[in-house]
Structure 1
Amino acid sequence: MAPTYYEARTAAVLAAREPKTFVTSREPEIPVELGGIPGDRHYGLYRKADSRQSFYPRGTLIANRRQISIVSAEECALIAEAMGIPEVRPEWLGANLLLEGYPALTSLPPGTRLLFPEACGLIGEGENLPCRGPGKEIADALQLPELAGRFIKAAKRRRGIVCSVEREGSIREGDIVRIYLP
């Protein structure tokens, strides 16, 4: 019996090409290597431990399990509604992929596999916890400073997931992704 899967559509592919910012920009297609998206600020097989891994000394070299960030259009709409604004763009969140058609993206368990038509395979590593940076970016983009503090609460359990790359390939806007639960 073949494994059961769900499907979603890749509404946007994005990359953070500027090293000084996490903000991403849309591209029609992104190549994906075992280290992530070449040229993206989160590219690499390894990264330095930060506040998320307080059990390691800050700066310790660890495996990069945050190579790709994915958000859903449905959850972005819920964040916008909770913040009282018309929209939350994936660029403002530093997302690499915007999916539509799987509204509970953030609740996917670690170990979920996301398989794309052009060979690319990702492994969900867990929820991307909300932080201050996107709130500030949203506030700056809309020129409403009071929004900065609202993001973390509005994005709780809606911020999407982070993934590592299991198989190289490419991802295009419009691709249908198969989502296999562990």
Structure 2
Amino acid sequence: MTDQPALIPEEFRIAPKFKVDGKVEGVFRTASPDDFQTTAAENLELTFEGVPGDRHAGFTRKSGGREPWYERGTEMCNERQVSILAVDELDEVARKMEIEDLKSEWIGGNILISAIANLTRVPPRTRLVFEGGTVIRVDGDNAPCRFAGAAIAANYPDREGLDLLFPKVARGLRGLVGFVEKPGVIKPGETVTAHIPEQWIYPRT
């Protein structure tokens, strides 16, 4: 019989599950699958493939630089169907970049939320349950990249280096990515409830 590592329950400091409410401040979509930047919409229809016609829609996607364990271009499950951003975090990134404004549309946001503190740090497996019944399952935080930084820089042509500055200052503030668990329509003004699961730190043995 293979020896099993000893369980040390006391090292698992489990934080209980809880819920927190926020508000949908805006919804956005791309005009075509070739677009990165999004535009404001009256509502956002979500299917099991994400936002129909959006750049990130689909049951599967091709792996890229974020997945070094796969050969680039490998077809994989699409856990990045939807981009969720927070008003206060965008304001903080703008402050750090010393720019007047940072709009969610510039960096491809689909849903802009307020009143959920530290949104980017919401853990994986969190369910975002919207008032109209739509549910998005959080995969994790969205790492900031130079591509998004270049989109911001295009709005400030008199400033140099913003494309490189964004990845440096936006880590932990770039919002979340997730996939559609229950389809539906999301509208600005809706309440969204984050169902935070139990959390623990898995210790090294």
Contact 2:33 2:53 in 1 (8 A): no
C-alpha displacement at 1:97, in angstroms? 0.5
SS at structure 2 position matched to 1:6: strand
Larger displacement relative to structure 2 (37-46 or 145-154) = 145-154
User: Is 1:16 matched with 2:39?
Assistant: no
Query: Per-residue displacement from partner, 1:88-138 (whole Å, max 9, x unpaired)?
Result: 100111110110111300000000000012221011100100001121111
Structure 1's consecutive aligned runs of 4 or more residues displaced over 3 angstroms after TM superposition are: none
**What percentage of residue pairs aligned between the two structures are identical?**
35
Deviation at 1:4, TM superposition (A): 3.2
Displacement of 1:21 in angstroms is 2.5
| Counterpart for residue 54 of structure 2 | 40
| Structure 2: distance between partners of 1:139 and 1:40 | 23
- Structure 1 or 2, whichever has the larger Rg, is 2
TM norm structure 2: 0.85
The alpha carbon displacement at 1:148 in A equals: 1.9
The structure with the largest helix share of the pair is 1
For residues 175 and 158 of structure 2, the distance between their equivalents in structure 1, rounded to whole angstroms, comes to 24
**SS of 1:53 mapped into structure 2:** coil
Which consecutive residues of structure 2, in runs of 5 or more, have no partner in the other structure? 1-16, 198-205
Return the TM-score normalized by structure 1. 0.95
| CA RMSD in angstroms, aligned pairs only | 1.1
Which residue number corresponds to residue 178 of structure 2? 163
Gaps in structure 1 of 5+ consecutive residues: none
Paired position in structure 1 for 2:3: none
The aligned counterpart of 1:119 is 133
> Aligned match of 1:178 in 178, 190, 193?
193
